[in-house]
Amino acid sequence: MIVRFQNGRLALPTGTVGAADIAISDGTVLSVTPVADTPADWLVDLAGGWLLPGFVDTQVNGGGGVLFNDQVDVEAIAAIGAAHARFGTTAFLPTLISDTPAQIAAALAAVDAAIEQGVPGVVGIHIEGPFINEVKRGIHEAHRIRRLDADTLATLTARHRGRVMLTLAPELCDEDDIRILVRHGVIVSAGHSDATYDEAQRAIGAGLMGFTHLFNAMSPLHHRNPGAVGAAFDSDTYCGLIVDNVHLHPAVVRLAIHAKGKERIMLVTDAMPSVGTDVSEFTLQGKRIAVKDGVCIFEDGTLAGAHLDMASALRKTVEVTGLSVPDVSVMASATPAAFLSLNDRIGAIAPGQRADWVWLDAELAPRATWIGGQMIPESASDLVQTA
């Protein structure tokens, strides 16, 4: 099948083009070529917009009115994925914030089942806590926080169908445990941490490869005490950024991208169940969270995740940095795919990649999404014509 995109801009690894024929088979891109004289099977008029690689989000707490912590099953994962696919996310990690050992095991099993059943978009799981530092816990419940134990270590390192990402406070974790996790394929990231620079660097030496929502809930950069942020800057690690004009000042976004480069910065949503809905509040582990002006906030002023989708994150990043859409697209797709070691399958519009695309209009608002070459049901299928 050949899908012809024209009258817009396509962000390819080799550069931007105004039109192209993309041949796909079994959900995989076979070729990306200039428009041919022969008819295509489907024709998409981009109307001056963009075709970008589908977004890859490594931190999705919820969406579509569903919070993963509240409902660790395949139906919840499918609902969350569908909500975010409307905004261009074609690969995501359902994220469980600090919870009980039983809930962690249930979440891992649910994601395994979702992948086995072919739920669109789900590529693994993110376990965020409870092995974090109480002084940097944010909205996480204090009574949930604990040290990593042998039983949970075994649960995390068992064979799973997708990627397993674990956010922990490295200063409260044994370096040998990090080595064991990494040896079994777990992606270890620092977050909700008060680590010193040296503590963070030792964890990096043990295999830690990321920093979860950089700057937020971690020891800051100081000129005599570089902290976790300093260790992130002074290493080849990946860093997630929540670009919603609330979690980070625009200057900090620019500084982080300048320090790390687009190949190491990942846009994340840290999305809550309000995404894809018009609700004004929701409950998070017994706490009433208000959604005001696009901000999820507890009554004491603590931020509780974000009311953010990936299309908005990309648009806001373009606005505050002045970077090009293709450059920011790398941080929304190719870089997180590389962080997950999935860049051989997702994250670019190129032969051999899954046919995951998002069409944004000229104002960078989402118009349609494809996952594995299939337009998701919520997308505007009437915008695609038979040739």
Same-domain pairing of 123 and 229 = yes
Residue in 86, 108, 82 with CA at minimum distance from that of residue 184:
108
Query: What is the rounded distance in angstroms from the CA atom of residue 344 to the CA atom of residue 350?
Result: 10
Q: Is residue 344 part of a domain?
A: no
pLDDT at 380: 60
Helix, coil or strand: residue 382: helix
Identify whether residues 103 and 227 lie together within a single domain: yes
Place of tokens 């507890």: 298
What whole-number distance in Å separates Cα of residue 50 and Cα of residue 158? 41
Assessment of whether the complete model's pTM goes beyond 0.95: yes
Enclosing H/E stretch for 33: strand 28-33
Residues 366, 328 within the same domain: no
d(CA 127, CA 202): 21
Q: What is the CB neighbour count within 10 angstroms for residue 54? A: 30
Domain annotation covers residue 109 = yes
Cβ contact 122:75 at 8 Å: no
| CB-CB neighbours of 206 under 10 Å | 19
The number of helices, as runs of H, and strands, as runs of E, in the chain is 10, 24
Distance in angstroms (rounded) separating the CA atoms of residues 325 and 308: 18
Residues 103/320, Cβ–Cβ less than 8 Å: no
**What per-residue confidence (pLDDT) applies to 222?**
97
Residue 64 corresponds to which tokens in the numbers above?
């579509």
Question: Does residue 137 share a domain with residue 35?
Answer: no
Do 273 and 379 belong to one domain? no
Same domain for 59 and 155: yes
Determine the 3-state secondary structure of 171 from DSSP.
Answer: helix
Extract the annotated binding site for Zn(2+). 128, 192, 213
CA distance 4 to 43: 5
Based on the domain organization, do 268 and 355 belong to the same domain?
Answer: no
Residue type, 223: H
By C-alpha distance, which of 134, 124, 59, 133 is closest to 97?
59
Q: Under a CB-based contact definition with an 8 Å cutoff, are residues 175 and 203 in contact?
A: yes
Judge whether 335 lies within some domain.
yes
Q: Are 231 and 305 in contact (CB under 8 A)?
A: no
Q: How many domains does the chain have?
A: 2
117 and 206 share one domain: yes
Query: How far apart, in whole angstroms, are the C-alpha atoms of residue 257 and residue 231?
Result: 15
Same domain, 322 and 372: no
Cα–Cα distance, 334 to 329 (Å, whole number): 8
**Do 44 and 178 lie in a common domain?**
no
What are the backbone angles phi and psi of residue 31, rounded to the nearest 5°? -160, 155
- Give dist(CA 280, CA 289) in Å, integer: 9
Q: Tell me how far apart the alpha carbons of residues 308 and 305 are, in angstroms, rounded to a whole number.
A: 9
**What pLDDT does residue 113 have?**
98
Q: Whose structure tokens read 């990043």? A: 317
User: Which residue numbers in the chain have pLDDT < 50?
Assistant: none
Q: Which residues belong to the active site?
A: 270
Domain shared by 174 and 266, yes or no: yes
What CATH number did the domain enclosing 26 receive? 2.30.40.10
Q: Which residue segment(s) compose the domain that 260 sits in?
A: 55-339
